[in-house]
Structure 1
Amino acid sequence: MTGFLIQATLYLFAMVIAVPLATRAGLGSVLGYLCAGILIGPVLGLSGSEMTDLQHFSEFGVVMMLFLIGLELEPRALWAMRDKLVGLGGLQVLLTMALVTAVSLAFHQTLPVAVALGMIFSLSSTAIVLQTLNEKRLMQTAGGRSAFAVLLTQDIAVIPMLALLPLLALPGARAVAKAEAAGDHPVSRFIDSMPGWGVTLMTLAAVAFIIIAGHYLVRPVFRFVHGARLREINTAMALLIVVGIASLMSLVGLSPALGTFLAGVVLADSEFRHELESDIEPFKGLLMGLFFITVGAGINFAVITAQPFQIIALVAALVAVKAGVLYVLARIFRLKGADRGLFTLGLAQAGEFGFVLVSFAVSQRILPTPVAEKVLVLIALSMLITPLLFILNEQLSRRLRREDDGPDADEIDEQQPIIIAGVGRFGQVVNRMVTMSGFRTTVLDADLKTIQLMRTFGFKAYFGDPTRPDLLAAAGLAKAQVLVVCLDDKASANRLVAYARSVRPDLHIIARARDRIHVFELYKAGANDIVRELFDSSLRAARYVLENVGLNEFEASELEKVFFKIDRAAVRDLAQAWKPGVPIEQNPDYIQRTRELNAELEAAMLKSFARREDKSEEPEATPATPLDSRS
């Protein structure tokens, strides 16, 4: 017991230290977990015989992740993805298998070994890729959705791979492997004793049971359990579904991850879907982290140090082969720009199911042990560099955005006194109110689809990057009265405000700010009026709250006005204490002044509330200044 607690403390300590450091450095959590595992295992040698057991235990993180993914996909959504699942995903698996098999044969591997290697290296890391896509909020991009379709196809393809691998072994070796693999569990022994057609029927029956139970059994049982109104019992029920299905699929020789994914799809339209997600998510996160640590700790550095240049060359060749296939498919399926790069580099590694296939191939006497050890190292190293591939993709995407001018900017044929830069959700409302009040505007935006949509509804707008000096000059910056900066990107907004102020010191600049820190940045850049995008809507929501807890409309409105006046003055005050480039939590002057201003604001609000019945008396407020007049 003591040894287990010490190991648990070690792994948790590695998590809470390495992962925050990696995320702060912009490397992502996955690389932090992998580095923690390398530190625990190969570097310090603190991992022992428990590593194999931990790997099997942590693989439930992948199983739970596939269950949660299934909960997000209704059967109709899966059917809508059929082209990408069969076309994009199927071609990726088959082409990569064929290419790796051919290369392996060229290096004098036998046909069974070459085919097994093709299967193993055709898979990518579902765990790392999906975790990274979610962290970087890339799942909803075209590249992210295409990568997800390929990963889903690969997970499904593991089933026929496991079924075909025994056929690659010599008959004598297959008989020995089957005898050794005979399970101790009576169900396993019974299934092993069945003829081939019986095993197939048993497998189909297990899949049918999952589908039928998901529709007709799980829901009434969940309602019964939910009636106890105990959160821990609901959690136990969620874990029972996942662990039970994983056990059933393992008994019939199928992938537990695929079984739980199928169950998740069946339960996707259940009323208990969100509760299942919230119950499983914490376990999934911890187990996924543990899985990545065991991958890092399991890297056999003795194999690397024995032939370092060969290992590095093989990893580079693996990534190059997979990236080449993915790039060709990305072009065939018309992925463009950053989406093509994300798809190509994001999936160019081997996957965690490769460990399963290697173990199975060794047990079936297909892969010799020396080859298997080298393959395991290649899989682990390719997974280790995956976060670096995502970082490389980000750098390439930025460079492509700078170098690719895209469609030519529109020729601006008229100049108006009001220039609006950016017409997203914020800019559109500004433009509608101004134009419907009888004033003319010149609207600029770098999103062609947004411009085309505006034109559909009868609003005139011009396509082009609003931060370009030549475009601003053509829009009439030299003669404009007001510039409204509504750009989503904070850096672009700051750059535009600074440039416009340098060219036109007399120009009135109104800028949208994402948050209070952005207010300070825009103020330094030279904006006159700064509007926090959620400030006014948040005040309205707070006023509605006050109106529904006992205050009348007048009283709530008066408190809203007091808060507005004092808070906008406080922003001006805090701008003097703010230091560019210094996090606010590391700025004691800013923190101290914020506390003082919050106390003053609370006192003023309470004072106003106490005399709310005296409508003739106005609450005190600090006079407005250029910064706080709209912020």
Structure 2
Amino acid sequence: MAGASEALFAQPLLLLGGAVIAAPIFRKLGLGTVLGYLAAGVVIGPVLHLIGGSGDILAVAELGVVLLLFIIGLELKPSRLWHMRRDIFGLGLAQVVLTGLALTGMALASGLLDWRAALVAGFGLALSSTAFALQLLGDYGDLNSRYGQRSFSILLFQDLAIVPLLAMVSVLGTPSGDADQSALVQIGIAIGAVVGMILAGRYLLTPLFQVIGRTGAREVMIAAALFVVLGSAYLMQLAGLSMAMGAFLAGVMLAESSYRHELEADIEPFRGLLLALFFMAVGLSMELQVIVDNLLLIGLAVPILMAAKALVLYILCRAAGSPHEDAAKVGLLLPQGGEFGFVLFTTAAAAGVLSNAQSSLLISIVTLSMALTPVSAILGQRLLKREGSEREQMDEDFEGAGSDVLMIGFSRFGQIAAQILLASGRDVTIIDDNPDRVRQASTFAFRIYFGDGTRLDVLRAAGIERAKIVAICTHKKEVTDKIVDLIRAEYPDVRLYVRAYDRIHSLALRARDVDYEVRETLESGLLFGRRTLEGLGVSEDEAYDIGEDIRRRDEERLRLQAQEGIMAGRDLVHRRPVKPEPLIKPKRAVKSQPEEDAAEA
């Protein structure tokens, strides 16, 4: 009994200790926490042999990937997912097919595999690691960037592709005539499971959380969230799909629920811990002896694999319209093998398509490519001169927070607005997620706290429940919209004053019923124009009247555009002087800029 109890506590203590030691060191070195977890796993397992048999640990740790996909699903409303369909089913399909065929050709050319084994190896290695890529995107804060969304679309299709690939293994490994029928049955079951999941999410999940929410018991809500995530993942696994796909679908179905922000806050701690465990389990599973015995082959195969995948990804992204920098970042983020490769190669070995030695060799190649992924991603970020390195973190301490005004974001716009409020004697609580800005503002005696305004727990800690007005002064549209949606869902009675990026953003904010919005360049542009008129000899009163006329026309145009669309109110725009007096008469008329290119006008 004592021995069993000792074993029960020894392994978790080793893993937690390894994570606590390795992650801060690797983050401080600029290599990222993922590589730190991998290194800790390698040291604990293959090097020191403190933990053996990583299979069970890896099985549990895969729940981290499941929870990660659920949280991502919560951020993707079905309408947004529909907008990504071209990248998912166009770019994602092209990547799997072209990369799979290219790697299959290379495997055949090596002479080490027959055509069946080469086909499984090629398409298995074409899959990338969802866990690694999304964790790195999260570390860089790039999940909502253009290249981040394109990378996610490719990964999402790869998760879908595991079903036909497993069916392909079944066909290749089954000599009887029932192979085609069993493959079709498997695909039919998978499609039926997806449809059933969508229907259950639409008609069952939201009512379920409404009932549980009325109880007011937070622990019951957490239990229900975990039950939904793990239950949907398990059902998808029974249907032949990946567990991650089931969790993702559950998240998407709850993306428009009023409970999604609370669910995200409840799941986040479990996701972070289990995902760290997943990376450590990958390190634990590395078979150093297999690598040593096939050192030359693996030493050639891993860089060739990563280079080939990166090249195909780069070419496809460029063909799909991505700029050079984004295409290169996608290529350097997704060149590795994926965790679903483990499943595919193990299944192929059981079906007799691959030998056990070949399966172990391919799994070693996948694992080593995973280990090198953080290095390639960091290299890509630095070579492409990404603005800002990994952001420094600070402790979140909200002691003393809570004022009539809660300001989110403290860049130049927020700093000016805050000075007016403070000059009137009002108290303002400010949160910002830039450590340097927080430190600098603190030296000027601003009440500013480090925190991410997109997190519900941070808003609560900063005193949103006591705030009469929330001033959202963030400078990225995507972040602003996320905060507005979060606050509108959780605190519908709070008055929102929001900084808008441009005219289109102003219209979008008005559609969200914010109490006040202003384009960040409107007032400065009007003032600049007035002062320029005065410099040309126009009286101050006349310049003011002209500016107010422009303001009135702009407001009227916004009102019309909100009702009739962006092209409404064009007659209200002053395109040229009433009495043009050009210094040099033009030889031919110059075409005016199209209305759709003047979002700031």
- Give TM class, smaller chain: 0.5 to 0.7
The reply on whether 1:125 has 2:133 as its aligned counterpart is no
Which residue is 1:166 aligned to?
170
- The structural deviation recorded for 1:535 is 6.8
Provide, for residues 511-532 of structure 1, a one-character-per-residue CA deviation record: whole Å limited to 9, x for no partner: xx83445898xxxxxxxxxx79
Q: 2:303 & 2:321 partners in 1: Cα distance?
A: 26
> C-alpha separation between the residues in 2 aligned to 1:338 and 1:140?
16
CA distance in 2, matches of 1:48, 1:393: 35
CA displacement at 1:347 relative to structure 2: 0.8
1:299-448 matches, cutoff 5 A: 299-398=286-385, 426=412
TM superposition shift of 1:138: 1.7
Gap runs ≥5 in structure 2: 389-409, 420-431, 450-462, 468-601
The answer (yes or no) to whether the contact 1:38–1:296 under 8 Å persists in 2 is yes
Match of 2:102 in 1: 99
The answer for the alignment partner of 2:36 in structure 1 is: 32
Distance across 2 between alignment mates of 1:428 and 1:217: 43
2:67 to 64, 67, 72: 64
What does residue 218 of structure 1 align with?
Answer: 205
Residue type at the aligned position of 2:122: G
Structure 1 residue 140, shift from structure 2 partner: 2.5
Q: 2:279 aligns with which of 278, 284, 292?
A: 292
Letter of the 2:98 partner, please give it: L
CA gap 1:197/1:122 in 2 versus in 1, 3 angstroms: closer
- Matching of residues 230-241 of structure 1 within 5 Å: 230-241=217-228
The partner residue of 1:281 within 243, 251, 268 is 268
The answer to whether the 8 Å contact 2:72/2:251 transfers is yes
Q: Deviations over 1:278-335 (max 9, x none)?
A: 1211111111111111100111110111132221111111111111101211321232
8 Å CA contact 1:239, 1:280 repeated in 2: yes
CA drift of 1:81 comes to 0.7
Shift of 1:220: 2.0
> Which has the higher Rg, Structure 1 or Structure 2?
1
CA RMSD of aligned residues (A): 3.5
The CA distance in 1 between the partners of 2:282 and 2:182, in whole Å, is 37
SS of residue in 2 equivalent to 1:171: coil
**1:134 counterpart letter in structure 2:** G
Distance 1:361 1:335 in 2: 36
Inter-CA distance 339–300: structure 2 relative to 1 (3 Å threshold): same
Equivalences for 1:228-627 in 2 at 5 Å?
A: 228-398=215-385, 426=412, 514-516=437-439
| Structure 1 residue 341: Cα displacement | 2.3
Task: Look up the SS of the partner of 1:360 in the other structure.
Answer: helix
Give the paired residue count. 417
CA distance change for structure 1 residues 200 and 385 in 2, over 3 Å: closer, same or farther?
Answer: closer
Is the counterpart of residue 54 in structure 1 residue 57 in structure 2?
yes
Give, in whole Å, the separation in 2 of the partners of 1:206 and 1:65.
21
| Preserved CA contact (<8 Å) 1:174 1:365 | no
SS at match of 1:366: coil
Q: Distance in 2 between matches of 1:246 and 1:346?
A: 26
1:159/1:316 Cα in 2 relative to 1: closer, same or farther (>3 Å)?
A: same
Q: Is the 8 A contact 2:313 2:330 kept in 1?
A: yes
Q: 1:375 to 1:27 in 2, by over 3 A?
A: same
Residue 148 of structure 1 deviates from its aligned partner by 1.3
Give the AA of the match of 2:99: T
Q: Is the 8 A contact 1:92 1:325 kept in 2?
A: yes
> TM-score with structure 2 length normalisation?
0.64
Q: Displacement, 1:392?
A: 0.8
4+ runs of 1 displaced by more than 3 Å?
A: 172-175, 194-205, 427-431, 515-520, 531-536
Among 68, 74, 78, the residue aligned to 2:77: 74
- Displacement of 1:337 in angstroms is 4.1
Contact 1:97–1:121 (CA<8 Å) still a contact in 2?
yes
Partner of 1:136: 140
The answer to whether the 8 Å contact 1:104/1:114 transfers is yes
Give 5+ residue unaligned stretches, structure 1: 176-193, 402-423, 434-487, 491-512, 521-530, 537-544, 550-631
CA contact (8 A) 2:163 2:190 kept: no
- Counterpart AA for 1:242: V
Q: 3-state SS of the aligned residue for 2:244?
A: helix
State which of 19, 26, 42 in structure 2 corresponds to 1:22. 26
28 and 369 in structure 1: CA distance in 2 versus 1, 3 angstrom threshold: same
Letter in 2 for 1:230: A
Aligned residue identity for 1:83:
R
Q: Distance in 2 between matches of 1:168 and 1:276?
A: 42
Distance in 2, Cα, partners of 1:260 & 1:2 = 34
Quick one: which amino acid aligns to residue 154 of structure 2? V
Q: Distance in 2 between matches of 1:168 and 1:336?
A: 40
Contact 2:167 2:183 in 1 (8 A): no
Q: Percent identity between the aligned chains?
A: 40
2-structure distance, mates of 1:88, 1:106: 27
The 2-side partners of 1:255 and 1:300 are apart by: 25
Q: Report Cα offsets for 1:378-397 as digits up to 9, x if no partner.
A: 10110001111112112211
> What is the CA deviation profile of residues 555-588 of structure 1, one whole-angstrom value per residue up to 9, with x for unaligned ones?
xxxxxxxxxxxxxxxxxxxxxxxxxxxxxxxxxx
